[in-house]
Amino acid sequence: MAGATGSDTHVLLLVTGGIAAYKSCYLARLLVQAGFAVRGAMTDAAARFVSPMTFEVLTGAPVACDLWGERGTAALDHIQYARWADIAVVAPATANTMAKAAGGLADNMVATLLLAFPGPVVMAPAMNDNMWRHAATRAVCRTLQKRGVRFVGPDQGFLACGTTDEGRMAEPEDILAEVRRVAAALPPRAAGEGREAPPAGCVAGGAWTGRRVVVTAGPTVEPIDPVRYVANRSTGAMGYALAGAAARAGAEVTLISGPVALAPPRGLAAVVGVETGRQMATAVDAALTTGADWLVMCAAVADFTPAEPASGKLKKDVLGNNWALQMVRNPDILGEVVPRHRATGVKVVGFALETEDVIARALGKLRAKGLDFIVANNPTADGSGFGDVVHEVVLLGPGGELWRSGACRKDALAPALLAQLAAAAAVAGA
């Protein structure tokens, strides 16, 4: 499911007062790069090791530190953050914090969040080896495990006290792997299911907050007969990543998808499943009629469809040794459907998949169809491809190239592309 790659999952990173807090900075970066939406919270002791500003820069969101509504923290952040999150990760998890969690104490921001958070918790213990082996700590671990807490580590290694033993916080890569496993087990959020709004200023990409965004994704399949069809290699990965990123950024997202093997991202306003190019055109027309601020046409719609699909399975002994399949053009959604709605002010983003003369052909498509922006990509180039792989795109406007992504995972590429689109639209409208 989508959560396995983090494209629609909210992670609350809880940092407590151990020297290993410096490793949590790298963990925050890894989670963000993996496509998770991350918010941080810290104890006063943790802030003695690492500044909250470090996590704010790494996650792009305010860090909850104080229960009293001071130091940039709202008074109810311990409730809002807990409602916002899908997974809580405590790293490092000190003996003190683990004992508080087991006992239900709530005397600092992290302990209070753990008491208010109803979802899955991952803990990465970090402490002196004798503290880890103490009977009290072992009893605390058993209590937390019975409640469903998942532990990562501790590892063997050099400890701050100068010994080499068990008690070192697990490596951030191992913690990330466990978060991915937990995310993969989360149930899909139903289309239109609400989520408690995060604290003010926490929604990444404020330009998308409240915007009505229509995203198309995946291939279309054009029937030849009841068992055969014409299709393409699109997996829907890029479109689903964009839909999830837009929803996380506060947009009201309608996803129109061809047949794919992906679970819809969480938090969408609507999911419309289609199969053929004609159905895709009808669904886009209906969504734009309802009203949209942005249309992101990421789907790989078939240019042609069989002229007369057979009602029964075609037999090869009837077709003979040579078979000519008569094809006719599908509706041109960007060229024929979208222009009927341009008076509403909808911004239109096209995608151009090309294998040669990529930029020139993409610019030609942008100008011919009167698009606001177009995303050019070559899936056969190094650093790109179909499916859940790294990919590289170029964002173009009427004046030419605006941004090159570099090769990165699509769940990380999607929010970066949305940020570039918002910035380019702001400049164009200035």
Catalytic center residues: 161
Residue carrying structure tokens 């249309």: 295
User: For the residues of 1-28, what is the DSSP string, one character each?
Assistant: -GGGGTTT-EEEEEE-SSTTHHHHHHHH
265, burial (CB in 10 Å: exposed 0-12, middle 13-18, buried 19+): buried
Rounded-to-integer distance, Cα 186 and Cα 408, Å: 25
Rounded-to-integer distance, Cα 100 and Cα 115, Å: 9
Rounded-to-integer distance, Cα 192 and Cα 369, Å: 32
Label each residue of 319-383 as H, E or C: HCCCCCCCEEECCCHHHHHHHHHHHHCCEEEEEEECCCCHHHHHHHHHHHHCCCEEEEECCCCCC
Which of these, 127, 182, 122, lies nearest to 154 by C-alpha position? 127
The token duo for 373 is 């922006």
Identify how many contiguous H helices and E strands the chain contains and give both numbers.
14, 21
Rounded-to-integer distance, Cα 404 and Cα 392, Å: 8
The CA-atom distances, in angstroms, between 407 and each of 171, 242, 345, 351, 384 are 25, 16, 32, 17, 7
Q: Please give the distance of CA 356 from its chain centroid, rounded to a whole number.
A: 30
